[in-house]
Structure 1
Amino acid sequence: MSKIRPAEPADLETLRALLSSGARSDLEPRVRAAFELGAVGDADSAEQIEALLIETLERQNSHLFGFVAIAVERTGDVAAARRLQALIPDAPEWALYWLGRAIKRLSGHSAPPPEGVQWSGPERDAYVAKLREAWAALDLSVDPTPSVVWGAATDTRVEAVVHDGRGVFALGPDPTSGKATWPEWNYSWYHAGQGLYGVGTVCSTCEVYLHRAGWSPQEAVDLAQSVRSAVADVRTLDRQLLDAIEPVVGALASSRYQLRLIDQPLEPVTWMDTWYTEDALEGVTDPDDLADITEDPVNHERLYQPPHTGRPNPLVIAPTQPDLDPATVKAYVQAITDGARPAALVAAHLGERHNWDREEPHTAFTGFVVDGHHKLAAYAELGIAARIILILDLTPPLRTPGDPSAALDGLLVETGGIGV
């Protein structure tokens, strides 16, 4: 498949003329024009771009369909969301994702994945049917209202389903370029629409490196701070606590989550040596040599990982703000010494990659601090396992193990984390 390349600089009329040309035998130039018009938010072309979307659907062109769906959402035509929703009952399986993505971007409404079935395996047909039903049932006539449905719970583990999630804290695709071969490829961790870390690609066999791209904007910081008093001394995940942190949970993307209350040994590090960069540690046996592995200044960031064993860690928690206030860290040190257990809030996903030269797939946990940088620093300074409320996305957009919850159990055992 050739790349969708951007048109040479031209006025809108030239692109509109290309989009409306009757050359049905050649989709690609019109898709290129639609993509460029969508990129500049040309609402006047929205109707024709939608017509092109239906044409690519009818012609079963799943590759170009993604590009045109992105063009539709970029026009900002809110009314298009209902028309796209009307396509869902009869749309082929491969179109559901793109229709749902565009509806979400245009209307703010989104449905969590179905319960109890998987995208792959013998239950695939049941999954697709339930997914189709969930998106078709959304009421787009009202404003989206994030909601959290709490499920099965113990003192240290709670299930949650987020509907119409705000996506303030979210793993999502990077903006698509007209030069891209695929409609989506690279993914990042976002806070309030700002990319903080590049976390890899949709390729399930590719090596992945964690790259910091920015810091959390104030909107996300303020939201996290609004629940800080509720997590000043956490002993259990009781209903009072869950109600208090619900605004943060509802600010995630629509999905199914599991909240875990754990104590995790962590230490600050300045290298990124999860399975993402496994090759960097091959042959290294002395942990004292690890600090010299990476000379790239971008990697000299403070992250948190379990105490090092000389081999790649499967768990990393990444900061989302740049600076720590020594006085605040000191205050948490004193509170912890006095017996309090303030909890950091960490949103996370489990990823699985099976590199072409490896016999077994690699599973790793990547967490991003929503609130609690100073708490993590205080626990590390004291040498005490950090109390953390993990918010684990059970259905993130990138590849996951078959049972993320069970995989997390294994990683916690491996890295010394325990339930409270």
Structure 2
Amino acid sequence: MSNTTLASEALADRATLRLCTAGSVDDGKSTFVGRLLHDTKSVLADQLASVERTSADRGFEGLDLSLLVDGLRAEREQGITIDVAYRYFATDKRTFILADTPGHVQYTRNTVTGMSNSQVVVLLVDARNGVVEQTIRHLTVSKLLGVKTVILGVNKIDLVDYSQEVFEDIRAAFEAKAQELGIEEPIAVPISALKGDNVAERSSNMDWYTGPTVLELLETIPVNSGRALELPFRFPIQYVLREHASDYRAYAGKVTAGSISLNDVVSAPNGRETRVVGIDSADGEVEHAEAGDSVALRLADEIDLTRGDLLAAQPRPEDVTEFAATVVGLTEKDLAPGKPVKLRYGTSLVRARLASVDRILDIDSADSDVIDPAGVGLNDIAHVTIQVADELPVEDYAARGAVGSFLLIDQASGNTLAAGFVGTRLR
């Protein structure tokens, strides 16, 4: 067997960790991501040479690593909508998919997108500023999205003379807020993305810090890819497949949670039960499918099913016309109580209305939330009650949106107004 083949097999066997970076403006996030890419040798030689030339032209001492990920800044200068950028890098231990989110407050909605598929959030703060409003906002969103591990990078520690006292004060404030929100695994690391301290390589400037570097944490945190698999079987139907010549009928979609095998009994709408007699994949018929697999299911009984219907394991989620949820405002247009909208839940798209906006969370204080507000604005995090025109089998948010996530959509424009989480209440 060739060395190339062995290397390919070793790469394929490595687990992949999905992470997200977040932080306020000018906390050094671009430099941090650039440092990770540079120190893990994930930068092409010609790209590195270009950064070297540009850094020299700007009079920068050494490498301006933020140039490696400055596409978002270029977009902003051109007036283009800022979005999440994805970076890929690898070490000998595992591969990584990094969602690099913008830091401006008005782009918190993009941070929601980046965090929604991440297992770990690396949250940066400037050591000179400590924990600020945007830090708490990102912690709150992390909790809403079920992120178990948040790493706080206390960046620019070199600008406070590598002070242990400054770091400990910031860590205490961070851990107190994380504990208040119920985040289980907050971790703080003193770093300098510019100098390289404790990002990928251990610092020689902080003898008082004996913990792991950020990269060591990322390489050793367990990759929990099975949360959706551990849930009961859920299969929202995307498309009904029919072939009259062969009398073929199957229901296509993606297994969003749990697993299904031949001859398993599943629950259909209206209390019907049936048995799975065939599972067809792109590679042919299989005997088993699990969360993340796109398949077509053939059933033993002829049941009238359409797009948006749910096949599920028992006990089946209860069909409801009203439910409590938490939403994050994604538009500058206020979402007012009573407003008719469309609601996207799984593959269902139904008419709905915001029955009430019960509370806008004040991320700085648990005692000063806005009660009975006029509406949900951009970046607001709100507890609401939603009514739907047709019964939906909703259930509490779990497994990074495998179940319980939804979107509220403007009926006229089709724009997304808010992202929602069924049953999620922070307080």
TM-score by length of 2: 0.26
* Structure ID, larger Rg: 2
TM-score (norm 1): 0.26
More helix by percentage: 1
Higher relative contact order (CA 8 A, sep 6+): 1
More strand by share: 2
